[in-house]
């Protein structure tokens, strides 16, 4: 048995935009034929802006806020985990924001979500063009990576991952997307899990799932069942669709 898990933003949809019509048609059919879970750093409201309701109803479940919230196929919340960050974190992030050389700051820089804090220099009020401009600038200057290192150096109980194009996700160590993988794996130990994400590199918010897969491959149960799990890095939703099409043409 195969179980498919997907990141959303940048993997199934364009960044911070709704799923395209062609992808919706293809993926809805895919979800009806396969066991599918969604795993995202975004909150539930943002998921509903990007993913059509018929797809949310067709998947087995949706993990939001990096696995800290879980909704079933009927949109019922199964669980929500709390996060009580260090009281000095907010001031620390505001100091980083003030010191950033990036000239455009649009507002909504610190967003508290269940189980995590999302932090963005350009701000979540940015337009699509401002989002793309910052992403291009960050690709050269690596500001988000520097921010990640600063936070982790000063708050050793926290972990930080790059999320999407413009932000970093801050959460307690272990409160990341691996939670979703571990829950699905524990419930389906004889299944092979295939995960697709655009942030599978070290420091990305999909990386914890890959890391959890590596750990699972060394556990006693996995050696007995010999059922491998796989992580597929993608760069956009078009590549995801093409990969899935190719996968089923070859099977």
User: Is 206 designated active site?
Assistant: no
**pLDDT the model gives residue 85:** 86
Would you state the pLDDT for residue 249? Answer: 62
Together in a domain, 134 and 71: no
Cα–Cα distance for residue pair 129/135, rounded to 1 Å: 10
Q: At which of 123, 152, 172 does a domain end? A: 172
Q: Note whether 101 and 163 are same-domain residues.
A: yes
Quote the number of domains for the chain.
2
Specify the pairing of strand 192-197 against strand 2-6.
parallel
Question: CATH number, domain at 132?
Answer: 3.30.1240.20
Q: What is the pLDDT of residue 12?
A: 98
Q: Which of 122, 117, 146 is nearest to 133 (CA)?
A: 122
Q: Say how far apart CA 40 and CA 228 lie, in whole Å.
A: 23
Residues 6+ apart with CB under 8 A from 135: 15, 165, 166
- For residues 184 and 37, the answer to whether their CB atoms sit within 8 Å is yes
pLDDT of the residue at 77: 95
The answer to whether residue 7 is catalytic is yes
Per-residue three-class SS string for 14-31: CCCCCCCHHHHHHHHHHH
Among the listed residues 7, 198, 206, 229, the single catalytic one is 7
Q: Which of 9, 159, 169, 206 is catalytic?
A: 9
Q: What is the model's pLDDT at position 20?
A: 97
Same domain, 145 and 183: no
Last residue of a domain, one of 172, 198, 231: 172
CB 5 within 8 A of CB 178: no
The CATH code of the domain that includes 205 is 3.40.50.1000
Q: From 172, 187, 206, give the residue that closes a domain.
A: 172
Q: Which residues, listed in sequence order, are joined to residue 36 by a DSSP beta bridge?
A: 4
Tokens for 241, please give them: 């669709």
For residue 149, give its domain range. 89-172
Rounded to two decimals, what is the model's pTM? Answer: 0.85
Where does 19-147 show beta strands of DSSP type E?
A: 35-39, 61-64, 69-71, 77-80, 110-113, 116-120
pLDDT averaged per 10 residues in sequence order, the chain, 251 residues: 95 95 96 96 95 96 96 91 91 98 97 94 96 96 97 96 91 94 93 94 92 73 61 96 79 53
> What CA–CA distance (Å, rounded) separates 152 from 148?
6
Q: Residues 158-190: pLDDT tens digits?
A: 999 998 899 999 999 999 999 999 999 999 988
């Amino acid at each position: 048995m195969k179980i498919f898990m997907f990141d959303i933003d940048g993997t199934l949809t364009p960044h911070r935009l709704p799923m395209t019509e062609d992808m919706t048609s293809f993926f809805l059919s895919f979800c009806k034929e396969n066991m599918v879970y969604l795993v995202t750093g975004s909150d539930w409201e943002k998921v509903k802006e990007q993913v059509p309701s018929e797809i949310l109803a067709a998947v087995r479940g949706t993990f939001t806020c990096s696995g800290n919230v879980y909704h079933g196929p009927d949109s019922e919340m199964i669980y929500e985990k709390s996060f009580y960050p260090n009281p000095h974190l907010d001031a620390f992030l505001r100091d980083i924001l003030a010191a950033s050389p990036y000239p455009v700051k649009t507002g909504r820089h610190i967003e508290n979500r269940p189980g995590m804090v999302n932090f963005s220099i350009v701000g979540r009020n940015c337009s699509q063009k401002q989002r793309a401009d910052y992403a291009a600038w960050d690709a050269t200057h690596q500001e988000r990576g520097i921010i990640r290192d600063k936070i982790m150096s000063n708050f050793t109980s926290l972990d930080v991952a790059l999320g999407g194009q413009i932000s970093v996700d801050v959460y307690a160590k272990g409160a990341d997307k691996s939670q979703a993988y571990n829950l699905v794996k524990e419930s389906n130990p004889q299944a092979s899990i295939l995960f697709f994400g655009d942030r599978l590199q070290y420091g990305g918010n999909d990386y914890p799932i890959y890391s959890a897969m590596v750990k699972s491959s060394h556990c006693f149960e996995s050696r007995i069942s010999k059922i491998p799990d796989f992580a597929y890095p993608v760069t956009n939703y078009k590549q995801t669709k093409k990969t899935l099409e190719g996968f089923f043409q070859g099977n």
